[in-house]
Amino acid sequence: MVAWSEHTHMNIGIVCYPTFGGSGVLATELGKALADKGHNIHFITYRQPVRLTGFSANIFYHEVHVPTYPLFDYPPYESALASTMVDVIRNNHLDLLHVHYAIPHAAAAYMAKRIAAQEGTHIPVITTLHGTDITLVGKDKTYAPVVTFSINESDAITAVSENLRDETFANFRIGKPIEVIHNFVDVRRFDKKPIDAFRKVIAPQGERIILHASNFRKVKRIDDVVRIFAGIRKQLPSKLLLVGDGPERPMAEDLVRQLGLCDDVRMLGKQQDMEDIFVISDLFLLPSEYESFGLAALEAMAAGVPVVASDAGGIPEIVTPGSNGELAAVGDVESMASMAVSILGEDEVLEAYRKGARAQAQRFDIGSIVPMYEALYERCLGMESAIIP
């Protein structure tokens, strides 16, 4: 075991999904922040993460190649991932593995750790739980035994909200503590002036701009987003921007047509440069059935955009009614529309909510959260079994 004091900087393997989802975004932003602090970060995934842009001398990307053979109806990604982890451990002197989203990353990391141990290398594994890996997919009896085992075999476990920690203990037999390290946002990224020409194209008559961004799954309740906007539009001139894509998009498009909202709703699809969209928006809608945290809402707040959301999951941990947004019961479209109008109706009221949103985002700034992960790494490297006190 190498003591922390001998580490000026660490070699960290980060395993994540490379997509627009919250777990991949958080993992990538965490890796970039750690690289900026001098650590060597090795991303291990099947495609370059969407947020991994630009060049950093301390960031390395290792692609997982999954050979296809006629024998396999479903290529064995988990085995290929574990083998790639072992290869990266062997050739890059990794100090630890940090895997984001339990399925299948925690199980693959367990295999990689055991193989490395047979070769005389001890690699601590940290598993960060993000949401649906626990609340939806992980509870499926097809996966639950492996999820439970691999989480328990991790050297340390974190969750991105108190709600998710509680959900994990309620639904799985976990025999060690789970540390809550909240999602974070780089406030500096969103501290920019709106592009006036961009806003005028969207809202030429000075209409309020409402925003929703997600992966358009059922849990996001995209139909509620559209119906809330319809209620807002009856009382205030407004426009709706829908950012993202997914299985619920065709339904949303049909509903927009049925409600006669085509002139006031724009489907923007997937977008990487969200900062420019957030900063021209006046309100963010998040009426989800469940959110383990609500990272998109936090990014909105960082741009000074208040949030109207459902009182579900971890959302109340970031949305404070009367300060930076408002909360209503899941499915209560009328209340959410009324709350939105109360925020947007007067410039002075909106500005007060904007200030509250920025202040709340500061509490979750990357500069405060990343050191918590570094401290966790320190504990893992300083103990044979890093059980969090």
What is the model's pLDDT at position 4? Answer: 43
Whether 140 maps to a domain, the answer reads yes
What is the model's pLDDT at position 233? Answer: 97
Cis link prior to 177 (omega < 30° from 0)?
Answer: no
Q: Are residues 169 and 266 in the same domain?
A: no
The CATH number linked to 78 is 3.40.50.2000
Q: Within a 10 A sphere around the Cβ of 140, how many other Cβ atoms?
A: 10
Q: Are residues 202 and 140 in the same domain?
A: no
Cα gap 361→303, rounded to integer Å: 9
pTM of structure: 0.86
What is the model's pLDDT at position 271? Answer: 86
Lookup: tokens for 173: 């037999």
Cα gap 315→1, rounded to integer Å: 40
Q: Among residues 22, 170, 38, 45, which one has the least CA distance to residue 99?
A: 45
Q: Are residues 26 and 66 in the same domain?
A: yes
Q: Are residues 174 and 192 in the same domain?
A: no
Whether 62 maps to a domain, the answer reads yes
Q: Are residues 243 and 370 in the same domain?
A: no
Q: Are residues 161 and 303 in the same domain?
A: no
* 158 touches 164 (CB < 8 A): no
Lookup: tokens for 159: 């969750």
Residue with tokens 């809330």, as numbered in its chain: 228
What is the model's pLDDT at position 70? Answer: 80
What is the model's pLDDT at position 388? Answer: 38
Q: Are residues 18 and 66 in the same domain?
A: yes
Q: Is 269 left (phi over 0), alpha (psi -120 to 50) or beta?
A: left
What is the model's pLDDT at position 6? Answer: 45
Whether 388 maps to a domain, the answer reads no
Q: Are residues 141 and 241 in the same domain?
A: no
Q: Are residues 9 and 88 in the same domain?
A: yes
**Residues 225, 226, 230, 233: is their CA dihedral positive or negative?**
positive
Whether 349 maps to a domain, the answer reads yes
Identify the domain containing residue 354 by its residue range.
Answer: 187-363
Convert the pLDDT of each residue in 235-283 to its tens digit. 999 999 999 999 999 999 999 999 999 999 999 998 877 889 999 999 9
Sequence-separated (6 or more) residues with CB below 8 Å from residue 97 = 12, 13, 15, 85, 89, 109, 112, 113, 123, 124, 125, 126
* 298 touches 368 (CB < 8 A): no
* Segments of the chain with pLDDT less than 50: 1-7, 384-389
For β-strands 96-100 and 11-15, DSSP reports them as: parallel
* 29 touches 1 (CB < 8 A): no
Q: Are residues 251 and 171 in the same domain?
A: no
What is the model's pLDDT at position 136? Answer: 65
Per the structure, the count of domains in the chain is 2
Whether 387 maps to a domain, the answer reads no
User: What radius of gyration do the chain's Cα atoms show?
Assistant: 22
